[in-house]
Amino acid sequence: MESRLKELQLEALKKIDEAIDLKQLNEVRVAYLGKKGPITEVLRGMGKLSAEERPKMGALANEVRGEIGQSLEKKQSKLERDAVEKQLASETIDVTLPGSPVKEGNHHPLTRVIEEIEDLFIGMGYQVAEGPEVEKDYYNFEALNLPKGHPARDMQDSFYITEEILLRTHTSPVQARTMEKHAGEGPVKIICPGKVYRRDSDDATHSHQFMQIEGLVIDENISMSDLKGTLQVFAKKIFGEEREIRLRPSFFPFTEPSVEMDISCKMCDGKGCSVCKRTGWIEILGAGMVHPNVLEMAGFDSKKYSGFAFGMGPERIAMLKYGVDDIRHFYTNDIRFLKQFHEHE
Ligand code: FA5
C-alpha cells in the first residue's frame, strides 16, 4: 500500500508538471484528489491493515495528498501568472508605429467672412447683439416704419407662421429690439450677424435663406458722413484698396435718406458677367440714417438723437472676396468646394 501511494504521488506530480493550462490542471486535481480518485480507492483498503499499520498509512496518505495539493496550488498560480503575462504581451502597443493621419476640418467660408467682419467692427467699438430668427411681425416690420399693408413689405416676400409671427426677413428687427432695450438712452453701437429667410427664387446671387449682418449706431450728432466713412473703412479692409465701391440712393422705410452699396465685380473685373448680371457691380448692403419715426417708436428723442444703420449680405461679400460664382455653393456643402478654404495650407 505504501509503495502504491508513493507511485500515485509520483504519477500525480508528473501530470501536474505536464499540465499546460488551468483546465488540464483541474482534471489532474479531480483525478487524484477527488472522491473517486485512486488515493481514496487505496484508503478504502485500510480496513484490512493491522492496528499498528493503520495510523502509519493514514499519515502517509495525508502527506501524499498534502504534497499533491501544494504542487497543484503552485502550478495553478504559475499558470495564472503566465496567462496574464501572455495577455499583456498580446496587448502591447507599439508606440513607435506611425499614427493614422487625423483629417482636419476648417471653418466654413461664410463663418470666416462673418468672423472677419465681426472682428473689424469690434475693433471700432461695436458690440455683437442677437435676436430671434422666428420673429414678431411687430419687430420685423411695424417697429421699422412698415405698418400692415405698407407696399414696401413686398420688397421682402415672407414666410409667415401665423398672422403675427414669421421667419425674419432681415436682421433689422434686432435694431428695434436693441433700441427698445436702451429705453431712449444713447449711445448704441451694435452689429448683429444672423440667418434670415425670404421667399426669393434661388439663383446665382439669391438664396431663400441667407445671412445678414446688421449694424446700428445711435448717438447725438451722428450724420451721413459717419455712415459713409464707416462703410469705406469696412470695404477697404475687407476687399482691399483696389476694389471699387459705389453708393446709390435707395429706399428703405426705416432709413431716410437710404443708400445701397455696390462693389465692382471680381469675376469680370467690372466688365459684366452672369454673376453681376452684366452690370459690373454687385450689391452687398443697404444702409441709411435711422428714420425719426423708428427712433421715436423705440422711445428715443429724434431731436436729440440720430443714427445710421446698415444691413449687409455676407454671402455676396464672400463671393466677391473668394471669387465664388454661385451663392448656392455655400449651402450645398460639397466637400471639394469647402476644402478650398483650408486656413492651414
Ligand atoms: C435689407 O434687408 C435691409 N434690412 C438692409 C438695411 C438695414 C437697410 C439697415 C437700411 C438700414 P436688402 O433687402 O437690400 O435690405 O438686403 C440687404 C443685403 O442682403 C443685400 O444687399 C444683399 O447683400 C443681401 N440679400 C438680399 N436678398 C438676398 C438673397 N435672397 N440672397 C442673398 N443675399 C441677399
Which ligand 1 atom is the nearest neighbour of the CA of 172?
A: 4
Domain range annotation of the chain: 2-90, 109-344
In angstroms, what CA-CA distances link 236 with 8, 117, 321, 340? 100, 12, 12, 24
Which of 2-6, 266-270, 280-284, 301-305: highest mean pLDDT?
301-305
Query: Lowest-pLDDT range, 95-109, 218-232, 310-324?
Result: 95-109
Cβ 234 under 6 angstroms from ligand 1: no
Whether 309 is in the pocket of ligand 1, judged by its Cβ within 6 Å, is yes
- pLDDT tier at 344 (50, 70, 90 boundaries)? low
Task: Please write the tens of the pLDDT for every residue from 306-342.
Answer: 999 999 999 999 998 898 989 999 999 899 999 888 7
pLDDT tens figures, 61-74: 888 888 899 999 99
State in Å: Cα 32 to ligand 1 middle. Answer: 93
**Would you say residue 199 has pLDDT above 80?**
yes
Q: Is the CB of 207 under 6 A from ligand 1?
A: yes
> What's the gap in Å between 219 CA and the centre of ligand 1?
24
Using a 6 Å cutoff on CB, does residue 153 contact ligand 1?
Answer: no
Residue 345: pLDDT band (50, 70, 90) is very low
What is the DSSP annotation of 8-36? Answer: HHHHHHHHHHH--SHHHHHHHHHHHHSTT
* Buried b / exposed e along 149-182 (16+ C-beta atoms within 10 A): eeeebeebebeeeeeeebbbbbbbbbbbbbbeeb
The share of the chain scoring above pLDDT 70, in percent, equals 99
Cα 42 to chain centroid distance, Å, stands at: 77
CA–CA separation, 39 vs 148, rounded Å? Answer: 106
Pick the range with the lowest mean pLDDT from 48-57, 152-161, 199-208, 235-244: 48-57
Rounded Cα distance, 257 and 309, in Å: 11
Of 108, 168, 157, 94, nearest to 132 (Cα)?
A: 168
Cβ proximity of 192 and 128 under 8 Å: yes
Please report the atom of ligand 1 found closest to the CA of residue 312: 18
Q: How far apart are CA 337 and CA 323, in angstroms?
A: 12
Q: How far is the CA of 324 from the centre of ligand 1 (A)?
A: 19
**pLDDT at residue 159, as a whole number:** 94
Q: How confident is the model at residue 210 (pLDDT cuts 50, 70, 90)?
A: very high
Distance of CA 154 from the midpoint of ligand 1 (Å): 13
Q: How far is the CA of 291 from the centre of ligand 1 (A)?
A: 17
Q: What was the pLDDT predicted at 184?
A: 93
What does the alpha-carbon distance between residue 33 and residue 39 come to, in Å, rounded to a whole number?
7
Residue 43 clears pLDDT 80, i.e. is over it: no
**Mean pLDDT calculated for residue range 298-308:** 97
Is the pLDDT reported for residue 284 higher than 50?
A: yes
On the CB side of 78, CA atoms within 13 Å amount to 13
pLDDT score of 194: 97
User: Burial code of 248-276, b = ≥16 C-beta within 10 A, e = fewer?
Assistant: eeeebbbbeebbbbbbbbbbeebeebebb
The residue whose CB lies within 8 Å of the most ligand 1 atoms, and thus the one to mutate among 259, 289, 310, 316, is 316
In this prediction, residues 274-293 reach a mean pLDDT of 92
Q: What does the mean pLDDT of the chain come to?
A: 91
pTM: 0.73
Binding-site residue set? 256
CATH number of 109-344: 3.30.930.10
Give the E-state strand segments of the chain in sequence order.
127-128, 134-136, 165-167, 188-197, 209-219, 245-252, 255-264, 281-290, 306-312
37 lines ligand 1 (CB under 6 A): no
